[in-house]
Amino acid sequence: MHPRIVDTLKKNQLSITESRKKILEMFLQRKGALAHADIEQQSGEEFDRVTIYRTLQTFVEKGIIHSIPSADNSVRYALCKDDCSEGHHHDNHVHFMCDHCGTTYCLDHVSVPPVAIPPGFKVTQVDVVASGTCMKCQ
Amino acid sequence: MHPRIVDTLKKNQLSITESRKKILEMFLQRKGALAHADIEQQSGEEFDRVTIYRTLQTFVEKGIIHSIPSADNSVRYALCKDDCSEGHHHDNHVHFMCDHCGTTYCLDHVSVPPVAIPPGFKVTQVDVVASGTCMKCQ
DNA sequence: ATTATTTTGCAACATTGTTGCATTTGTGTA
DNA sequence: TACACAAATGCAACAATGTTGCAAAATAAT
């Protein structure tokens, strides 16, 4: 088991349960983003569907993971950059979604460029969603 | 009826039907984006739910409208900039979604800044999704 | 006007997400 | 360690959303 799992849960005042440990481990092991369906398949019916929904919701509220915008109506989640031990500041993110294999990459180290939003809008968050073909699918 | 409706449909080799005319008119009249539910409500059960799904799908395929990425798993659509009479080149778009009233604005005139995607990724489209509070909700 | 093609509406189904509640699990304390 | 309290889980039922096949209706072509 990944060493940071229990730490992260404790820091966020969450009970250490099987589902939370396992789901958090999936995020730590895999670089890319995960959809609800991915988790359901990978865990092999170990957890109830409802439990997965609630766990993801809890993780989002605590700022452990964040949801990634997509145009095809599939919600995906990825780990927040800094384990969010400091709380959940809404980071700006750059994501890449491969049209071919569907993998979503969370490019934490790419900075979001300034965007000239017209006056009148109060911007709190900017997400950049790039899509195309990833290195594995060239 | 908006004068461009029949033209747009003809240019895209689509039959001129009631649902297509009415749904396209909704997009032309309203500046913001529309979700499936919006259309269903505004048309007042005039059309079957399935018809709306299929009409939206057709419009997307023809490049008349495009879907807007969002983090909350709600698909919204907006008119393509140039009526897409030329076919569907994948434009880069800036969108703004108001956290308060849920309205999605399609900021066609704001240009998408260059983003430094790491080598290995072949980018075909970049969407920028800003969120916060719109002018009506300040 | 008539025929051929396309679109629509209906029904049935599949998927995805939500809620309430009893049972189980985890946490804090003696 | 054992106990009581709090929290999370699983189940069932439900709601919302999206899909598919097919007969009937509307549109387009002749």
Classify B111 as helix, strand or coil.
Answer: coil
B18 touches strand D (CB under 7 A): yes
**Span of A12-26, B71-85, B109-123 with lowest mean pLDDT:** B71-85
Asked if B130 lies within 8 A of A135 by C-beta distance, the reply is no
> What mean pLDDT comes out for the span B105-114?
85
Q: What are the beta bridge partners of residue B95?
A: B106, B129
Note the CA–C1' distance, B38 to C20, in angstroms. 30
B94 vs A: CB within 8 A: yes
A68 vs B: CB within 8 A: yes
B53 touches strand D (CB under 7 A): yes
pLDDT of residue B107: 87
Which residues have CB under 8 Å from B67's CB, separation 6+? Answer: A71, A72, A73, B60, B75, B76, B77
Other CB atoms within 10 Å distance of the CB of residue B95: 24
Question: In this structure, are residues A70 and A108 in contact, taking their beta carbons and an 8 Å threshold?
Answer: no
B46 nearest nt, CA–C1': C9
CA distance A86 to B129: 25
Measured between CB atoms, which of B110, B125, B135 is closest to A115? Answer: B110
Note the CA–C1' distance, A47 to D10, in angstroms. 9
pLDDT of residue A82: 59
Counting the structural domains of chain B, the total is: 1
Highest mean pLDDT among A73-82, A95-104, A107-116, B5-14: B5-14
Burial pattern B52-86, b for ≥16 Cβ within 10 A else e, equals beebbeebbebbbbbbbbbbeeebbbbbbeeebee
Dihedral of the CA atoms B91, B106, B12, B85 (nearest 10)?
-60
Sheet holding B93-98, edge to edge: A104-106, A93-98, A122-133, B122-133, B93-98, B104-106
How many residues in total does chain B contain? 138
pLDDT band at residue B89, thresholds of 50, 70 and 90?
very low
Quote the domain boundaries for residue A39. Answer: 4-137
Mutation pick from A65, A94, A97, A115 vs chain B, by most beta carbons of B within 10 Å, is A115
User: Which of the 29-68 residues on chain A come under 7 Å of nucleic strand D at their beta carbon?
Assistant: 46-48, 50-51, 54-55, 58
User: Which of the 89-128 residues on chain A come under 7 Å of nucleic strand D at their beta carbon?
Assistant: none
Give the chain B residue whose CA is nearest to the CA of A99. B124
- CATH no. for residue B117? 1.10.10.10
CA distance A58 to A91: 18
B123 CB neighbours in chain A (<8 A) are 96, 130-132
Helix (H) or strand (E) holding B51: helix B49-62
> What mean pLDDT comes out for the span A39-59?
94
Q: Which two tokens stand for residue A110?
A: 């790419």
pLDDT band at residue A83, thresholds of 50, 70 and 90?
very low
> What mean pLDDT comes out for the span A66-90?
71
Which residues have CB under 8 Å from B119's CB, separation 6+? Answer: none
Digit-coded pLDDT (tens) for B37-70? 999 999 888 999 999 999 999 999 999 999 998 8
